[in-house]
Structures are given as C-alpha cells and as structure tokens.
Amino acid sequence: MTTLQSRRERASVPGRVRPDSTHASPVEQRRRRRIRVSLGILALLCVLGVVAYLTYDVRGSWEYAMDLRGRQVGSLVVVGAAVGASSLVFQTIAGSRILTPSVMGFDALYLLVQTVIVFFFGGTAFLMMGVGERFLLNTAVLTVFGMLLFRWLFGRNSRNLLVLVLVGIVIGSLFGSLTSLASRVLNPNDFLTLQDVMFATFNTVDGTLLWFAAAVCLLGLAALVPLLRSLDVVDLGYDNAVALGLPYHRVVTLTLAVVTVLVAVSTALVGPMLFLGLIVANLARQVLPTHRHTELVLGSVLVGVLCTVGGQFVAGHLMDNGTTLSVVVNLVGGIYFILLLMRTVKL
C-alpha cells in the first residue's frame, strides 16, 4: 500500500465518522498510545520550562521579578504557539515542509516597515509613537500583505514548490534590499534607533499589548479547530481533496486568513523570528508519527512554546544575555533549512 493510499484511509471528509479506536489494529493502537505519551511529555516539559524560567536565580524583589518574567514568559508562549500552529498548517497548504510564512517575506516586510517609518519621520518620531500604535500599524500592514500574497499564490491551486520558494526568495530579497538602501542614508542616531527593532526581543513587552496579542492568538487557534479535519484531506493534494468532496477553496482561504493573523500578531509583538516556524513544525512532525492535524497542531504549539521558553532560558539565564534567541534560532534554522532543501531536491 502506497503512502498516499495510507494517508487517504486515515483522512476523512468532515462529517464522516472515523472508525472506532476500539476496533483499531494493535499497531495502530500502539501508534496512538505513542502519540498521547509524546504530547503528555511535551506538555510536561513546557510546564517545567515555564516554572524554571520564572523561578531560576531570582534576586531581590520577587514581586518585581514575577512581573517582569511573567510578561516575558507570556510573550514567549504567545509567539511559540502562534508561530508553531501557523507554520504547520501553512506547510500543509503549500505542500512542502521547507516553507513557512516567515520564509515568504513576513519578517523582511516587518523590517522594511520600521525602516520606512524612521526614514520619513525620524528616530525621535519613531520612539514617540506609542507601542500600541506601532503594534496596530505592523499588524495591519502584515495582515494585508499576507492576504494579498497568499491569495495570489494559492488562487490557482498552485502548490509548485519551486514557484513558492522562488517567490519567497524574490520578495525577501526585494524587501531586504529596500531596507538596506533606506538604512544607509539614515543619520547615526536614527540608525541606532532602528537597530533596536531589527531583532526579536522578549525583554520589554508591554503588558497591555501582550493581553491583546494573547487574545488574538487564542481566537486564531480556536478558529483553526473546525478546519483541522479538513486539512487532513487538503494534505492529500488538490485533486484528491476535490474528489473526496472537500470545498477546497473555502478551506484554504479560511486557513490562510487565520495563518496571516497569527503570524502578523506574533511578529508585531516581538519582532522577526525567521526560522522558528521551520524548526518547530518539522520537529513536531518528527515527534508525532501521524497525519492528523488535531494532534499535529497541538504538538506544534507545544514544541513552539518549548523552543521559545527553553531557548530564552538558555540565552537569558544560563548565558547571561550574551546573545539573543533570534540569533540562535536564525543560525540553527538556516542550517536546518539548507539540509531540508537538499533532502527535498534529492527526493
């Protein structure tokens, strides 16, 4: 039995009843037990990571430490969950494990928006803008960009890997070149102001924005839940999904809308994390041997939280802020992306 046939048997059109787990074969029961155990271990590691981050080497006032670290942990959880879930379902729609929304130019656009603001209005005006205004501006721009880009890319059912990779590289290079050009003509003070937002930071997250971003993230994840079983069918490909009676265009459009909002909110909250989604989504697929998105998305959320909280714990506490989480993620993720691309080409 081919892989496609096996996946077709596991997928079902929404509304159909899945076979009762009590009638599953011993191999299937062991596989499901492994998935449940893996999800439980991931959840436990996330809890331990959060507790360790909050309580490790606290000096001075506990009230101050809990307030500061609580906001940091909140932002780490929001970003990890949003990036993890959005990256995994985006890979399903794109039909590739090497593509994520960030690779398609989101992070480059975020940097371009900040550079344009500083270029036209100056660093002083940029700093005088409230964090709320900047957050809403970034979220709106990234959301509009994502909807237009994804609608264009997937409007004709295009899942051509080479086209998607090429578009992502071209868009990222274009935005990066415009950012570099504008930043070169800034005065030194404005350039230093711009450098503060070039890398993702979890140290100075506004509490009000964190609550707003967390609410949007929860709503986005809740909106994904009814689409998860449909995504099992989308994973089979356009022809198979349509043959099984799935409203392909509606499912893809709704999913891309949710993905765009999740990525826009997480990027606007803390800044760019280029390869985080690539690492998280692929680790989740390796840990969980299943094609069911109800389990994969939950696993991807847990892996994302574990990566952000654990990575920031190492960078902030153990390395005494000697580096930033985004630098480590981009380094590891860049190497991982090249390896996955080479493996895909060989296949």
pLDDT in tens, 114-146: 888 888 888 777 777 776 777 788 778 877 887
Residue 101 lies in a domain: yes
Mean pLDDT score, 290-316: 88
Residues 251 and 227: their CA atoms lie apart, in Å, by 7
- CA 338-106-347 angle, to 5 degrees, is 30
Q: CA 2 to CA 320: how far, in whole Å?
A: 51
Alpha helices in 271-317 (DSSP H): 276-287, 293-313
What are the DSSP calls for 223-263, one per residue? HHGGGHHHHHHHTT-HHHHHHTT--HHHHHHHHHHHHHHHH
CA 37 to chain centre: 24
- Cα torsion for 253, 280, 174, 256, to the nearest 10°? 10
226 belongs to a structural domain:
yes
Has residue 152 got a pLDDT over 80?
A: no
Strand ranges in 112-264 using DSSP code E only, listed in sequence order: none
Report how far residue 229's alpha carbon sits from residue 226's, in angstroms, rounded to the nearest whole number.
Answer: 7
How many domains would you assign to the chain?
1
Q: What CA–CA distance (Å, rounded) separates 274 from 109? A: 12
Q: Give residues with Cβ within 8 angstroms of 316, minimum separation 6.
A: 203, 325
Predicted confidence band of residue 46 (pLDDT cuts 50, 70, 90): very high
Residue 134, φ and ψ in degrees, nearest 5: -65, -40
Residue 288 has pLDDT above 50, yes or no: yes
Residue 47 in this model has a pLDDT that exceeds 90:
yes
Q: What is the pTM of this model?
A: 0.79
Choose among 250, 268, 335, 295: nearest CA to 83: 268
pLDDT mean over 319-331: 72
* 156-209 pLDDT, tens digit each: 545 555 676 677 778 888 888 888 888 888 888 888 777 776 666 666 777 778
User: 193 lies in which domain range?
Assistant: 61-346
- C-alpha to C-alpha distance for 55 and 34, rounded to whole angstroms: 31
- Taking only the tens place, the pLDDT of each residue in 59-96 is 778 888 888 888 889 989 999 999 999 999 988 887 77
Cα angle for residues 291, 296, 299 (degrees, 5° grid): 150
Cβ–Cβ < 8 Å for 276, 81:
no
Judge whether 142 and 210 are in contact, CB under 8 Å. no
Residues 6+ apart with CB under 8 A from 319: none
Q: Is residue 143 part of a domain?
A: yes
- Collapsing DSSP to helix, strand or coil, 310 comes out as helix
Q: Please check whether residue 90 lies inside any domain of the structure.
A: yes
At residue 273, does pLDDT exceed 80? no
pLDDT average, residue stretch 273-294:
86
Quick one: DSSP state of residue 316? I
Residue 148 has pLDDT above 70, yes or no: yes
Within a domain: 221: yes
Helices and strands, number each (H, E), in the chain: 14, 0
| CATH number of the domain residue 149 falls in | 1.10.3470.10
